[in-house]
Amino acid sequence: MIMQTATRPNTYSLLWDNSQFFTGTDDPKITAAVEDVKDAIAILTTQCQPFTLLAELAEDVSPDDDTDLIGKIRTIHQQRTELNKKLGNLSTYIYTALSTNTQDPHASTWKPILQQLSAELSQALTPLNVFLTRASEVFISHLLADPALAETAFLIHHQRQLKDQLLSVSEEQLITGLATNGLHTWGNLYSELAGTLKCTVQGETMGLAKAANLLSHPESATRKAAWKGTRAAWETQQSAVAAGLNAITGWRLEETEKRAAQRKLHYLDKSCHQSRISRATLDALIETTYQQREIGQRALTAMAKAIGQPQAHPWDLMAPAPTQKEAKGDTENISFEAAIALIADAFNRLTPEMGDFAIMMAKKGWIDGAPTPNRATGAYCTKFSDPREPRIFMTYENTMNNVLTLAHELGHAWHNWVMRDLAPTQCRYPMTLAETASIFAETLVREALMEKAATPEQKLEIAWQDAQSAAVFLHNIPARFEFEKR
């Protein structure tokens, strides 16, 4: 017994520790940091102002016209980098606080203020960005020869692809300014609703995050009740949701039209540019899901058969493998400690550094998974800017789905971690790349589980996860894509 106690893994906290940044959302240091950011934005605004005029003549500006021009851009870049660290820490602190408690009154107050500051920063930099997008190739090659600016090469070249869609400096600033209380407000409303809406599942009132986890309950009746409860909760908000979706789509169409004066644009072009993929790549991806749709249908049919139903219902998509129910009683029970050990083991097969990293994330309290009330739905990985530390948010309730979500988010965190010595401008990446790291990590865990599986029941459990992925990637995601397109 003594040996057992001694070798038991430490229990990790499932509440993250962000106290090194601020002591709470009411910390007076937040007010001071926000004031610093405002001052720094004012300075940048003044420094970037001369580029408004230069942007109009950008193609004719030669590096010899003003030998100090590159020096000025270098100063702006260095100040922006410092400012981004401060604003990054503030934004991450407030965003993560709101995820664990969507009702935090201080965080709810700070969130729009920080969004406003990000928009103001972006407006401050617009004259310079328009100038850099329009400048001649000669000027840009001189600029990037500067050792302090070389790190911006990728972002500048990427932005310059939009040369013929750019509006005037004042129009660009207007769009960014209006988006804060226009376009982005809908996202805030969604988070607010998703965090506060309550639903009733089998007589119990609960938040949507908890109901979402019940979609992987072993009892079909419970899953059905959670699915219906969630839908009923959202149905009370139909008008707000429809207004939001229509406004976002309307904004996109209007902006595309305004930018299409020189070249015909499709409303998907901007998303593709932001995702750093071509339209041909996007079309190939979607086309492939349609060609392989039958695999998803076969997976769903097989899953339905295994749980003793003639067909799969919407609430069965996240059902656990039927083996769980018989082997382990009512609920699957993979403790957080066991999940971390299992994931670290699988990551070790790629490199022990990755396995150690997973353990470190848990030990340092960088993962928040406790099923607290008023919690946001979903899972994500984010990072603080200074020092560069990742954080994972999810709702961990001991299921196999939770384990794979954790592995997925740890893949994102590892991706962040290995880049921590690169310049921040070199670490901005789109979701298309981000998901490669996370799905890779998830796959390592699936494969390790499959290899370890000794019995047909254990193999079924892993095959079950693959079947669910087939349904998600070949049906759920293409359906959402079609919905948005229409």
> Considering the complex, what minimum distance in angstroms separates the CB of residue 381 from Zn ion?
7
Residue 303 three-state SS: helix
Nearer to Zn ion, 438 or 465 (CB): 438
Nearer to Zn ion, 91 or 382 (CB): 382
**Given its phi and psi angles, is residue 57 left (phi above 0), alpha (psi -120 to 50 degrees) or beta?**
alpha
Residue count at the site for Zn ion (CB under 5 A)? 1
Q: In sequence order, what are the residues at sequence separation of 6 or more whose Cβ sits closer than 8 angstroms to the Cβ of residue 107?
A: 25, 94, 97, 98, 101
Nearer to Zn ion, 13 or 271 (CB): 271
The tokens of 393 are what?
């948010």
- 382 is a contact residue toward Zn ion (CB under 5 A): no
Nearer to Zn ion, 121 or 392 (CB): 392
> Considering the complex, what minimum distance in angstroms separates the CB of residue 293 from Zn ion?
23
> Considering the complex, what minimum distance in angstroms separates the CB of residue 262 from Zn ion?
36
| Distance in angstroms (rounded) separating the CA atoms of residues 101 and 392 | 15
| Distance in angstroms (rounded) separating the CA atoms of residues 89 and 87 | 6
| Distance in angstroms (rounded) separating the CA atoms of residues 480 and 474 | 11
Nearer to Zn ion, 323 or 438 (CB): 438
> Considering the complex, what minimum distance in angstroms separates the CB of residue 469 from Zn ion?
13
Buried b (16+ CB within 10 A) or exposed e, 141-153: ebbbeeeebebbe
Closest to 308 (Cα-Cα) out of 329, 322, 294, 297: 322
Is residue 198 a contact partner of residue 207, using CB atoms and an 8 Å limit? Answer: yes
Nearer to Zn ion, 152 or 438 (CB): 438
Q: Which residue has the tokens 């540019």?
A: 273
> Considering the complex, what minimum distance in angstroms separates the CB of residue 408 from Zn ion?
6
Nearer to Zn ion, 121 or 445 (CB): 445
> Considering the complex, what minimum distance in angstroms separates the CB of residue 252 from Zn ion?
23
Nearer to Zn ion, 104 or 368 (CB): 368
Binders in 351-380 for Zn ion, by CB under 5 A: none
| Distance in angstroms (rounded) separating the CA atoms of residues 178 and 67 | 36
> Considering the complex, what minimum distance in angstroms separates the CB of residue 177 from Zn ion?
31
> Considering the complex, what minimum distance in angstroms separates the CB of residue 283 from Zn ion?
22
The tokens of 442 are what?
């998830």
> Considering the complex, what minimum distance in angstroms separates the CB of residue 429 from Zn ion?
12
Nearer to Zn ion, 173 or 438 (CB): 438
> Considering the complex, what minimum distance in angstroms separates the CB of residue 125 from Zn ion?
28
Nearer to Zn ion, 18 or 405 (CB): 405
Binders in 430-449 for Zn ion, by CB under 5 A: 438
Closest to 389 (Cα-Cα) out of 9, 19, 5, 13: 19
Nearer to Zn ion, 84 or 438 (CB): 438
3-state secondary structure 215-253: CCCCCHHHHHHHHHHHHHHHHCCHHHHHHHHHHHHHHHH
Other C-beta atoms within 10 Å of 8: how many? 9
| Distance in angstroms (rounded) separating the CA atoms of residues 83 and 122 | 12
Closest to 83 (Cα-Cα) out of 131, 48, 51: 48
| Distance in angstroms (rounded) separating the CA atoms of residues 327 and 456 | 13
Per-residue x/- track, 71-100, Zn ion (CB under 5 A): ------------------------------
> Considering the complex, what minimum distance in angstroms separates the CB of residue 115 from Zn ion?
23
DSSP state of 475: I
Radius of gyration of the chain (CA): 25
By DSSP bridging, strand 367-368 and strand 388-393 are: parallel
Binders in 133-152 for Zn ion, by CB under 5 A: none
Residue closest to Zn ion (Cβ): 438
Nearer to Zn ion, 165 or 438 (CB): 438
3-state secondary structure 121-160: HHHHHHHHHHHHHHCCHHHHHHHHCCCCCHHHHHHHHHHH
> Considering the complex, what minimum distance in angstroms separates the CB of residue 442 from Zn ion?
9
List of residues contacting Zn ion (CB under 5 A): 438
